[in-house]
Structure 1
Amino acid sequence: MEFRQHPAVTLAEVAEAAGVGESTVSRVLRNHGSFSRETRDRVMEAVERLGYVPNRIAGTLASAGSRLVAFVIPSLSNIVFPDVLRGASSVLEANQHQAVFSVTDYDAEREEALVAAMLAWRPTAVMLAGFEHTEGTVRRLHASGCRVVEMLDLDGAALDLAVGFSNRSAGCTSADFLVKRGYRRIGYVGHDLTRDTRARKRFDGFCEALGSAGFALVDREICTGASSVESGRLGLERLLARKPDLDAVYFSNDDMALGGYFHCLAHGISVPSKLAVFGYNGLDIGRVTPQPLSTIRTPRVETGRVAAELVVTDAPPQVVDLGFELIEGATA
C-alpha cells in the first residue's frame, strides 16, 4: 500500500471526536488535573483511532517552565555516556522531564554550535561533559538563565553544578597501583589527548605520580580517531614493536585496554607475568574476560542520576564528588 503524507491530526480534532474540550484532552494526555474514567476512555479511544501524536516540544515551549533537559555529550561509541543517560533518564521521567541529546565527537566548536541549538528550545537545564568549553559556549550558557551541569570531571571550576570525580586523581591512583605492584618499565596507549581533555588529565596525573615515585613513562602510543577495542590492539602492537621490554601498559580506557589484552592473548604474551594491562572505566565486559581487567571503576549511572536530581529539585550551585573505585582485577 502506498504511503501518502497527510496533515498531522490536531488536538482540536481529537477533542471533537471525543466530544470534549481541548483543555480536557490536554489534561488526559498529561495525566494531570481532574477528569473521569469515562472521559479518559473516550479521549484515548479517539487518540488511538485518529493516530494522534502529542507534540511534546510545543507543549514544553508553551508551558511556563520548560521540562526539556538537554544533554550535549562527546560520544555514543562506548557505554560511558549511555550509562550517564540511563541514570539521568530514570529520574527525569519520574519527574515528567524530557531528555534530548546531541553528540559533539569531542569537538569544542561543535559543542558550541550544539549548545546554541539546544538553548533555542529553552531547556530547563543543559548537561555537559567536563569543564573545558569555548568562550562562546560559556557566554551562551551564562546568558541562557538555565541550569548547567558539568559531569564526569571535578578538575576545574564549575559554571553552576558539577557531578563526578577527579580524573587527575584517577590517573595518580592507577600509577601508584602499578608502582606498588613492582612495575617499572611502563608505557601508555591512548586516543587523542587534545580533544578528550578528561583522558589528558588522567594521563597527566599518571605521569605525575610516576615522577613522584622516581620513574618516568618509557613510551606512549596515541591512536588517531575515537577509542575502540581495535585501536587498543593496534596501539599496543605498535608500542611493543618499539619497546618490547615493557612490563606494564596503562590504557586511556577499558575499550583500549581490552584490545591490548586481546593482542596479548593472540600473540602468547602472558598477562600479567610478562605484561600487565591496566584500564579505566570499569566496564562490565572487563569483569567477564578470562582474566578480569585491572582498572578504575567510575560511577557513570550514579553521575547521571545525581545530576538529574539536582536539576529537578532546583538545587543551589554545588560540586558533588562521587569518587571512583580501584578494581585490582587479574591483569596487573
Structure 2
Amino acid sequence: MEFDFKQQGAVTLAEVAEAAGVGESTVSRVLRNEGSFSRKARERVMEAVERLGYVPNRIAGTLASAGSRLVAFVVPSLSNIVFPDVLRGASGVLEANRHQAVFSVTDYDPQREEALVAAMLAWRPTAVMLAGFEHTEGTLKMLRASGCRVAEVLDVDGTAVDLAVGFSNRAAGRASAEFLLKRGYRRIGYVGHDLERDTRAGKRFAAFCETLASSGSPLIDREVCSGASSVESGRLGLERLLARHADLDAVYFSNDDMAIGGYFHCLARGIAVPSQLAIFGYNGLDIGRVTPQPLSTIRTPRVRTGQLAAELVVTNAPPQVVDLGFELVEGATA
C-alpha cells in the first residue's frame, strides 16, 4: 500500500489575519494580550486561530521583540525531584510574568554544560539559570559577556556571576555531622555518587569529614558509586560498605534517593534502624517522610529557590546572593 502525503506549511499570522478580517498587528496584540483591541476583534481572531489550528511562534516573537522573554535553565539532572522542584518554583513566577522557560540537561558534565550554555545564549534569553558556581572558564566567559541576567541556584558557597539563590552545602554537611555526633555515633561511613561531577555533594562531604575529624572521630570509610544517584545505587553502596565494615553505627548518604536505598537494604537484611545502624540523608524528599520510619535528613527549600531566582530575574534586581538556609529533620532513622 502506498501513501501520498502532501506537505503543508504551518499556518501563518497573515493567514489568521486574513481569516479574521483584521490586520496582522491586531492578531499579534490579541495573542500577546497586550495593547488595544476591541472585544469583537478578539473574538474574530480567536475564532480564526481555533478554526485554522494556528500555533504562535513564541521563539520568533521573543527574538523580534525589544527584549526576549525566554529564560534558559541548564540543569545537571532530571532523575530525581530536586531540579524539577526548582523548575516548578520558577515556572509559576515566569508564567505569571509572561516569560517562557526552556531547559536542557548536562548530566553533570561541565563540557556539556558549556556547549548547552552556548546553544541557549544563541537565542538571546533574558536570563540563564544554572546549578552551582563551578563552571568551565569558557562557560563563565560566555555568561559574563552575554548581557543577560545569570542566576546560579542551590548553592551560596562561591562567587556569583550575578544572582545566586540557595543555601550553604558546606553548612549542611557540618550540620549533618554535628547531629550524628550529638546522638553518640562515632563509627560513621559514607555512601554517595560521583563527587567530582556533583560539586555540591562534594562540598557537603568535605565539610562532613572535616567536622568528624575535628571531633576526634574521623570517617571510617566511604563507598562512592559511579554514575547518577539512585535508590538502587544507595542500596548496593551500603551493602558494599557494610561488607568491609560491619561494625559501623551510622552512614551518611549524599542524598535521600540513596539513603532510601540504604534503608531498603536494612529492611531486607534485618538490620534494625537506628539501633544497629543509623541512616542520614539530604534534600528532604517527600518519600522520606512516608517510609515506615521517617528519614533523618536535611530539607532544602528547592521550590522557593526557583521562585525567588525567577522573581529576581523578572524584577531586574541588583546582583546579590540570597541564602535561604535549610532545615534539619530529626526523623526516626538516626
- TM-score by structure 2 length? 0.98
Following superposition, the deviation at residue 4 of structure 1 comes to 4.6
Q: Match of 2:325, as an amino acid?
A: G
Q: Match of 2:118, as an amino acid?
A: A
The answer to whether structure 1 residue 172 and structure 2 residue 136 are counterparts is: no
1:5 is matched with: 7
1:46 is matched with: 48
SS at match of 1:57: helix
Q: 2:232 aligns with which of 209, 230, 233?
A: 230
Q: 1:61 aligns with which of 54, 60, 63?
A: 63
Moved over 4 A (4+): 1-4
Q: Match of 1:14, as an amino acid?
A: V
1:155-166 → structure 2 map (5 Å cutoff): 155-166=157-168
2:209 is matched with: 207
Q: Match of 2:158, as an amino acid?
A: G
1:135 is matched with: 137
1:9-24 → structure 2 map (5 Å cutoff): 9-24=11-26
| Count of residue pairs the alignment pairs up | 332
SS at match of 2:79: coil
The answer to whether structure 1 residue 220 and structure 2 residue 185 are counterparts is: no
SS at match of 2:107: coil
SS at match of 2:197: coil
Following superposition, the deviation at residue 6 of structure 1 comes to 1.1
The answer to whether structure 1 residue 321 and structure 2 residue 295 are counterparts is: no
Deviations 1:112-146 (A, max 9, x none): 00000000000000000000000000001111111
SS at match of 2:152: strand
Deviations 1:29-56 (A, max 9, x none): 0111111211111101100111100000
Following superposition, the deviation at residue 214 of structure 1 comes to 1.2
The answer to whether structure 1 residue 255 and structure 2 residue 245 are counterparts is: no
Following superposition, the deviation at residue 195 of structure 1 comes to 0.4
Following superposition, the deviation at residue 211 of structure 1 comes to 1.3
Which moves more between the two structures, 18-27 or 4-13? 4-13
CA distance in 2, matches of 1:45, 1:330: 58
The alignment yields a C-alpha RMSD, in angstroms, of 0.9
SS at match of 1:116: helix
Q: 2:111 aligns with which of 87, 109, 112?
A: 109
Deviations 1:17-72 (A, max 9, x none): 00000000001101111112111111011001111000000000000001100000
CA distance in 1, matches of 2:41, 2:193: 58
1:30 is matched with: 32
CA distance in 2, matches of 1:164, 1:2: 55
CA distance in 1, matches of 2:5, 2:174: 59
CA distance in 2, matches of 1:126, 1:204: 29
Using a 3 Å threshold, how does the CA distance of structure 1 residues 265 and 5 change in structure 2: closer, same or farther? farther
SS at match of 1:33: coil
SS at match of 2:165: strand
2:185 is matched with: 183
CA distance in 2, matches of 1:158, 1:247: 39
CA distance in 2, matches of 1:65, 1:24: 20
Q: Match of 1:58, as an amino acid?
A: A
2:82 is matched with: 80
CA distance in 2, matches of 1:254, 1:318: 30
CA distance in 1, matches of 2:51, 2:199: 51
CA distance in 1, matches of 2:6, 2:215: 70
CA distance in 2, matches of 1:174, 1:217: 13
1:150 is matched with: 152
Which moves more between the two structures, 28-37 or 291-300? 28-37
2:301 is matched with: 299
CA distance in 2, matches of 1:171, 1:39: 60
